[in-house]
Amino acid sequence: MRTGLRLQLSAALCLVPLIPIALRLGYLQIVRHQDFSTQILHRTESQTLQIVPRGRILDRSGRVLAQSTTVDSCFVDRYGLRADKSSGEAGLRALAAVLEQPLPAIRAQLRQRTRNVWIQRDVPEAKLLALRGLQTRYPWIGLQADQQRRYPNEELARGILGSVNSSDRGSSGLELSFDRKISAQAIPVASMRDGDGRSIRERIGDAGAPPPDLRLTLDSAIQYYAEAALSEAMAKHRAKAGTVLVQDPRTGEILAMALAPNDALRNAAIQDVYEPGSTFKVVVAAGALESGVMNLTDKLDCENGRWAVNSKVTIKDHDKQGLLTLPEIIQHSSNIGSGKLGLKMGAAAFLKQCALFGFGYRTGVPLPGESSGIMGAAATLRDVRLANAAFGQGVAVTPIQLLSAYSAIANGGELLEPRLVLAIGDEPTPGPVRVRRVAKAETIAEVRKMLELVVDAGTGSTSRLAGYRTAGKTGTAQKVDPRTGQYSENEYIASFVGYFPARDPLFTVLVVIDSPQGEYYGAQVAAPVFAKLANILLAMKGVPPETPLAVDRGGEKIAPAEAAPAPVPASPKLPAPRQFPAPARPAAAPARPILHGEQALGSASKAA
């Protein structure tokens, strides 16, 4: 055999063993290529979620009222724990020791049916190193970047802001109302790592637009002062509950909403109702002028302070009066005069005027659970019930309804929807939103004069402001004793609502104090709170006095022109609310006010 042929044959025989190797390589590279690529990706590439924080809630000046921060939270994979039969128990004991939690409490949490169970949210930095050490020994222990909702000003405005649940979803207040708008977003992040676990490439999914911030109409400084004034009044009068609301009557913007108790899960200003007492008399006054049943010079007999509506019910006034004009009925807060006006109007006309002012309907404020109040039907408002309703007993309203009604009087007769949100992100919300005109301009002008008279020479004298004209109305409503169904002789709701400066109003303020002890008239309990807060607001806005007063300096009388204080700067620099000391809390404050509806009317009612 020739040498060349032998060499070719030998070479072919040498290559024969390579044929199965080549076939195997081809099989792996072509047929199994996708499987091996997937395995490699699983070992070198991980998929995680990056959380874009929930949108912030800001006050009107951009001060932060609520924001989310990134924290680390610890969870347990129940399936992994169940599979770790050899060291699972030891791992749980070690976890309980690091987190300083009772082992039975952790076992109770692990009874949930979900695979991954949160053991502790927002783990302190000092415990993270120890937890990471446990992770290396017990892979079923996990740490996850999480979002924690923070309220930098602690309890300030919590009844409005609300709260979020453990899943960072809104559960009450604005957090619930705008949950879809400001909820956190999860973005998928693919990370490729080398053999030593170092990240060599990251691929972030499309995040879209981040959740927008919510900018409110609230002024956190005004909110602080409102809460402080309310807290002081609650402690002084040992009251059960209270509300202070501040609104701009020109725009309907809510500037403050102070609540006591300050419950993040419940907002008494829009969810609870109460009998408004004499603050409701403006409705019958406006209705009487609108319907023509009484003019400004007509007089009603107020029966010298006692009026027997029927053989069983007598309505009393705190002040014995004879013949009174309509302005005098409001000035002296006569229950008898208002009750007789209600009967002269009739149930249909009375309820129509109530509806025009917004009573019996939700205001549209963007908070969950708003009540529409209780007005009753025309068929049920006969004789005693109608007379009582005319001075604010036997009907029930929410504080936000009454505030809006007085703002309508302050701005010349336009009922506006209460505005609580200025903008969502860069998009401003509609406002002011006009609902309807409550009465003719001439009627509103006369009602405004009556409310000024109340402060100048009537029951509201304790709300006067030195150098400024004020308009408002006191209210003192008996509460119903739930045990007897009759009006209580020692449980009252004291209130005052008004606006200032009276000629060109900038603020409407409502003060409601539930069950004060000792003094209980609105003029004694609520009106001084109004006056104190009004002085602060006027100073903040730099509103110069309308009527400068003479002052006594060391026995020397200074002329009014010299005594007039210099205007306060239009934008005073106030400390951020988070730097304010927390308002003093009353010694004891039961959970929330009693709710009232149509009640038995068997006993006499008190006037403001």
Q: What was the pLDDT predicted at 595?
A: 36
Q: Which residues pair with 75 in a beta bridge?
A: 118, 142
* Backbone phi and psi for residue 462, each to the nearest 5 degrees, phi listed first: -75, -5
- Interval 69-80 mean pLDDT: 88
Over the chain, what is the mean pLDDT? Answer: 85
Q: How far is CA 526 from the centre of its chain?
A: 21
What is the torsion angle, in degrees rounded to the nearest 10, for the CA atoms of residue 95, residue 99, residue 102 and residue 103?
Answer: -10
CB atoms within 10 A of CB 431: 17
Q: At 412, is the pLDDT very low, low, confident or very high (cuts 50, 70, 90)? A: very high
Three-point CA angle 147, 152, 157, nearest 5°: 110
Return the SS3 of 217. Answer: coil
Q: What was the pLDDT predicted at 486?
A: 86
Distance in angstroms (rounded) separating the CA atoms of residues 494 and 593: 13
| Cα→Cα distances 139→34, 93, 111, 197, 428, Å | 29, 15, 19, 16, 49
Amino acid 453 reads L
> 43-84+145-216 has which CATH code?
3.90.1310.10
In tens, the pLDDT along 364-386 reads: 999 999 999 999 888 888 889 99
User: Which part of the chain has CATH 3.90.1310.10?
Assistant: 43-84+145-216
Q: What was the pLDDT predicted at 11?
A: 78
> By the 8 A CB rule, do 146 and 121 touch?
yes
Distance in angstroms (rounded) separating the CA atoms of residues 36 and 51: 31
- Is residue 586 scored above 60 in pLDDT? no
Q: Report residue 54 as tokens.
A: 């929930």
Q: Annotate 442-490 with DSSP letters as a single string.
A: HHHHHHHHHHHHHHHHSTTGGG-BTTB--EEEEEEEEEE-TTTSSEEEE
Pairing of strands 556-558, 427-428: unpaired
Q: What was the pLDDT predicted at 18?
A: 78
In tens, the pLDDT along 109-158 reads: 998 888 889 899 888 888 988 998 898 889 899 888 778 889 999 899 99
- Is residue 581 scored above 80 in pLDDT? no
The dihedral region occupied by 428, where left means phi > 0, alpha psi between -120 and 50, and beta the remainder, is beta
Q: At 20, is the pLDDT very low, low, confident or very high (cuts 50, 70, 90)? A: confident
| Cα→Cα distances 303→23, 293, 298, 323, 337, Å | 116, 19, 16, 8, 9
Asked which of 348-352, 440-444, 598-602 is least confident by mean pLDDT, the reply is 598-602
Q: What was the pLDDT predicted at 589?
A: 39
Percent of residues, the chain, with pLDDT higher than 90: 59
Question: What are the DSSP E strand ranges found in 261-361?
Answer: 299-301, 306-308, 314-316, 323-325
User: Which part of the chain has CATH 3.40.710.10?
Assistant: 220-422+432-548+568-579
Asked which of 26-35, 322-331, 527-536 is least confident by mean pLDDT, the reply is 26-35
Q: Is the preceding peptide bond at 505 cis, omega within 30 degrees of 0?
A: no
In tens, the pLDDT along 221-255 reads: 999 999 999 999 999 999 999 999 999 999 999 99
Distance in angstroms (rounded) separating the CA atoms of residues 177 and 421: 11
Q: What was the pLDDT predicted at 571?
A: 46
Amino acid 229 reads A
Q: What was the pLDDT predicted at 605?
A: 42
With 0-12 CB in 10 A as exposed, 13-18 as middle and 19+ as buried, what is 38? exposed
Amino acid 368 reads P
Amino acid 243 reads T
Q: Annotate 132-177 with DSSP letters as a single string.
A: HHHHHH-TTEEEEEEEEEE-TTTTTTHHHH-EE-TTS-EEEHHHHH
Q: At 338, is the pLDDT very low, low, confident or very high (cuts 50, 70, 90)? A: very high
> By the 8 A CB rule, do 359 and 396 touch?
no
The Cα diameter of the chain in Å comes to 149
> Looking up tokens 């008996």, which residue turns up?
478
In tens, the pLDDT along 513-570 reads: 999 999 999 999 999 999 999 999 999 999 988 877 666 666 665 655 444 444 444 4
In tens, the pLDDT along 204-214 reads: 556 567 889 99
Percent of residues, the chain, with pLDDT higher than 70: 84
Q: Report residue 381 as tokens.
A: 């408002």
* Backbone phi and psi for residue 245, each to the nearest 5 degrees, phi listed first: -120, 140
| Architecture of the CATH domain 220-422+432-548+568-579 | 3-Layer(aba) Sandwich (3.40)
> Looking up tokens 């969810």, which residue turns up?
271
Q: Which residues pair with 419 in a beta bridge?
A: 253
CB atoms within 10 A of CB 582: 13
Q: What was the pLDDT predicted at 42?
A: 60
Distance in angstroms (rounded) separating the CA atoms of residues 45 and 447: 74
Closest CA relative to residue 403, chosen from 488, 306, 505: 505
Return the SS3 of 2. Answer: coil
Distance in angstroms (rounded) separating the CA atoms of residues 546 and 562: 14
Amino acid 159 reads G
Question: What are the DSSP E strand ranges found in 167-280?
Answer: 170-172, 185-193, 199-204, 214-216, 241-247, 254-260
- Is residue 463 scored above 90 in pLDDT? yes
Q: Report residue 455 as tokens.
A: 């402060």
Helices (H) and strands (E) in the chain, counts: 22, 25
In tens, the pLDDT along 158-212 reads: 999 999 987 788 999 999 999 999 987 766 666 666 655 555 555 655 656 788 9
Element (H, E) at 346: none
Roughly how many angstroms between the first and final C-alpha of the chain, as a whole number? Answer: 133
Q: At 457, is the pLDDT very low, low, confident or very high (cuts 50, 70, 90)? A: very high
What is the torsion angle, in degrees rounded to the nearest 10, for the CA atoms of residue 494, residue 472, residue 571 and residue 558?
Answer: -110
